[in-house]
Amino acid sequence: MIDEPFASGSTLFHKRDTRVKLVGAAAISLVLALCSSFLVAVTGCIITAMMLILSKPDLKLVSKRIIGVNIFTFFIWLTLPLTYGGSETLTFSMFNLSMDGIRLAALITVKTNGIFFCILALLATSTTASLGHGLEKLGFPKKLCFLLLFSYRQLFVINQEYHRLLRAAKLRGFSPANTMHTYRTYSHLFGMTLVKSWNRAERVHQAMLLRGFNGRLIPLNQSPPGKADYFFLIIMLLISLFLAGLSLFCYNSL
Partner 1 sequence: MHISEGILSAPVLAGGAVLTTLGTAVGLKKLDYDRIMTVSLFSAAFFVASLIHVPVGPGSVHLLLGGLLGIILGWGAFPAIVVALALQTIFFQYGGMIVLGVNGFTIAGPAVLCGLIFRPWLKGSRKQQMIAGFLAGFFAMFLSALLIGAALYLSDRGFLRAAGLLLVSHLPVMIIEGLITMFVVTFLAKVQPEILSLNN
Site for partner 1 in 191-250 (CB under 8 A): 191-195, 197-202, 204-205, 208, 215
Under DSSP, is residue 225 helix (H, G, I), strand (E, B) or coil? Answer: coil
Query: Of these, 1, 94, 171, 220, which contacts partner 1 (CB under 8 A)?
Result: 1
Q: How far is the CB of 103 from partner 1 (least distance, A)?
A: 11
Neighbours of 131 (CB within 10 A): 22
Residues from 25 through 54 that contact partner 1 (CB under 8 A): 25-26, 29-30, 32-34, 41
Q: Are 28 and 118 in contact (CB under 8 A)?
A: yes
How far is the C-alpha of 97 from the C-alpha of 99, rounded, in Å?
Answer: 6
Separation of alpha carbons 85 and 78, rounded Å? 14
- Report d(CA 120, CA 122) in Å as an integer: 6
Q: Is 16 in the site for partner 1 (CB under 8 A)?
A: no
Task: Identify which range of 8-16, 154-162, 223-231, 243-251 contacts partner 1 by CB under 8 A.
Answer: 154-162
Helical residues (DSSP H) of 55-98, grouped into ranges: 59-69, 71-83
The Cα–Cα gap between 197 and 184 comes to 20
Using CB under 8 A, which residues numbered 71 to 130 contact partner 1?
A: 72-73, 75-76, 79-80, 83-86, 100-101, 104, 108, 110-112, 114-116, 119-120, 123-124, 128
Segment near partner 1 (CB under 8 A), from 10-18, 68-76, 220-228, 236-244?
Answer: 68-76
Sign of CA dihedral 60, 63, 69, 74: negative
Q: By C-beta, is 207 or 228 nearer to partner 1?
A: 207
H helices present in the chain, as ranges? 12-15, 18-34, 38-54, 59-69, 71-83, 99-122, 128-137, 142-171, 180-210, 227-252
41 in Cβ contact with 111 (< 8 Å): yes
Q: What is the size of the binding site for partner 1 (CB under 8 A)?
A: 82
Residue 223 DSSP class: P
Residue with smaller CB distance to partner 1, 179 or 253? 179
Among 63, 68, 210, 221, binds partner 1 (CB under 8 A): 68
Q: How far is the CB of 236 from partner 1 (least distance, A)?
A: 14
Residue 146 within binding range of partner 1, rule CB under 8 A: yes
Smallest distance, partner 1 to C-beta of residue 102, A: 12
Question: From the CB of 185, what's the least distance to partner 1, in Å?
Answer: 9
Position 178 contacts partner 1 (CB under 8 A): yes
Q: Is 174 in the site for partner 1 (CB under 8 A)?
A: no
